[in-house]
Homo-oligomer: A and B are copies of this chain.
């Protein structure tokens, strides 16, 4: 049974009930904040809003010929969402698409010159944004959190870390 508190009118008088000790709460909440901040910094940048565009652009840029379905796994979207995302980016002339010669049901994605340029612009912004946003966490602790979440993420999407093949 939670501690009862009454009619709080300011946030200082509030305790978070069981959410206080619930990691998912902090993940979900920080996500809102960090995403909003990122969107603000990328305003007008063709790649703002929603998770996925940035990752997609960077991934295609550094893995020419990568497939939509691989990206989908990485950003945890289903294929239809991924398709729409790519469509959008093609319309914005950031990516181009061609069906794979060896696997004619699959596609290969490539950045356009404009896409490559944007990727170069984006890269430092994204890095800086994350550092800045979490700057009130000590550098060291940031690294700690990242290290743990990275391992979690890897397991989740099935990146083994050791490339076995």
Taking Cβ atoms with an 8 Å cutoff, the residues of A that contact B are: 2-36, 38, 51, 54-55, 58-59, 61-67, 70, 73-76, 103, 106, 108, 123, 126-127, 129-130, 133-134, 136-137, 141-142, 144-146, 148-153, 155-160, 163-165
Which residues of chain B are within 8 angstroms of A5 by Cβ–Cβ distance? Answer: 62-63
By beta carbon, the residue of chain B nearest A125 is: B18
Which residues of chain B are within 8 angstroms of A156 by Cβ–Cβ distance? Answer: 30, 33, 136
B61 and A11 contacting across the interface, CB-CB below 8 Å = no
A70 and B11 contacting across the interface, CB-CB below 8 Å = yes
Known: A11-B74, A23-B130. 18 other contacts (CB 8 A): A5-B62, A7-B65, A8-B63, A11-B157, A11-B158, A14-B63, A14-B159, A17-B58, A17-B123, A21-B127, A22-B126, A22-B130, A22-B146, A23-B149, A24-B38, A27-B31, A144-B144, A144-B145
A148 and B155 contacting across the interface, CB-CB below 8 Å = no
Output the least CB separation between A145 and chain B (Å).
5
A9 and B59 contacting across the interface, CB-CB below 8 Å = no
